[in-house]
Amino acid sequence: MNSSFKERIYPPWYIKSPYYEEIDREKKLIRCRICERRCYLKPGVKGVCWNHMNIDGELYNIAYGLLSAVESRPIEIKPLFHYYPNSTALTFSGYGCNFRCPWCQNYLLSQVPPSPDRAFYMSPKELVREALRRGDDGFSASFNEPSIHFEYLLDLGEYASRQGFYLMMVTNGYFTTNSLEKLVEAGFTGFSIDIKGCPYTYRRFLGADPLIVFRNARKLLDLGAHVEMVFLVVTGANDDEECIKWVIEKHVDYLGTSTPLHINRYYPANKYHEPATSIKKLLQAYEIAREMGIEYVYIGNILDERYQDTYCPKCGKKLIERRRSRVVYWGLDDNRCPRCNYKINIYGKYIPGKESPLFI
């Protein structure tokens, strides 16, 4: 009887997490240290992410291995254009997020608490076996914010690295620096990081600080990881010229000019119904980024795919052409421009001729 009762309370997706600090032992008050929300938790209370909970004065991940999706996806769709080009990643997600973006495209996953009734359980070992079966090159934690299953990511890294897989994530970049160090130690080398806008955007919609995101992106570069920033230009939230310039200036200040910047178009979703970003605004942001010296600037979520191509920052030669999230032309010679020998920022090997589903 006691055994069955214990199993009911602690199913496989309930695991203890060491990533917290004790605030008050008598009151069993703790503070989570995984992301920069740093939630103070009383017994029985969940953090902002809905995935971490104080159980009797200890931190638990209560959705370890509870996944919402597992799909093979092109790396370019993340977007990561300079990381293992033309490869595919087994992409997985859970439920929940530490942000509440009203325009979130994946709100059915990110703005919903985890539950075994709507999820399926896969251990890290099972996920690695699935990637081997499908012939993927790596793993991508995506669709919802990866920090929600931080402990799962670390365990996955241990098994995936043994098999030679790369590991990357699509994230809002709001981890603590200690968590970033753990992720890189576990084998995560690729990060597609969303920058939501300027301080006004973060205060109004998220109650957060964009400088933490840039700090973390810089930290990852210093740790030897690859970073690409994604700026979703949202009508009425971050699309004024002052905000756009602030984001691009901070990109240059913190990350330099060789870190790629993706300027993406917003479409109405979830609780936000302003019109889709005007193409004029996107082109304006693109020109500002180019004028400030960013070498690799792209425009995404539009029909004109010319802005997905990579050109040599030194001589202007087209080096990589992408269509429908696949590389259709690769003109680099040992990651250098064949015309002027300029070294292009590429992390990992190019996978030529890999067959994969095409995505619009």
Q: Domain residue spans in the chain?
A: 2-61, 66-298
Class of domain 66-298 as given by CATH: alpha beta
Give 193's DSSP letter.
E
Tokens of 50: 């809905």
Question: What is the pLDDT at residue 359?
Answer: 39
Question: What is the pLDDT at residue 8?
Answer: 46
How far apart are the C-alpha atoms of 211 and 188, rounded to whole Å? 22
What is the chain's length? 360
H or E stretch covering 58: strand 58-61
Reference 81, options 311, 249, 339, 314; nearest CA is 311
**DSSP β-ladder status, 66-67 and 69-74:** unpaired
Answer whether 147's CB lies under 8 Å from 188's CB: no
How far apart are the C-alpha atoms of 309 and 320, rounded to whole Å? 6
Question: What is the pLDDT at residue 6?
Answer: 42
Residue type, 313: P
245-275: b (≥16 Cβ within 10 Å) or e: ebbbebbeebbeeebbbbbbbbbeebebeee
Q: List the pLDDT tens digit at each of the 360 positions of the chain.
A: 344 434 446 788 999 999 999 999 999 999 999 999 999 999 999 999 999 999 999 999 999 999 999 999 999 999 999 999 999 999 999 999 999 999 999 999 999 999 999 999 999 999 999 999 999 999 999 999 999 999 999 999 999 999 999 999 999 999 999 999 999 999 999 999 999 999 999 999 999 999 999 999 999 999 999 999 999 999 999 999 999 999 999 999 999 999 999 999 999 999 999 999 999 999 999 999 999 999 999 999 999 999 999 999 999 999 999 999 999 999 999 999 999 999 999 999 999 976 544 433
Answer whether 205's CB lies under 8 Å from 237's CB: yes
Tokens of 347: 């992390």
Sequence-ordered list of residues with C-beta below 8 angstroms from that of 174, at least 6 positions apart, any chain: 35, 36, 37, 98, 99, 145, 147, 208, 212, 213, 216
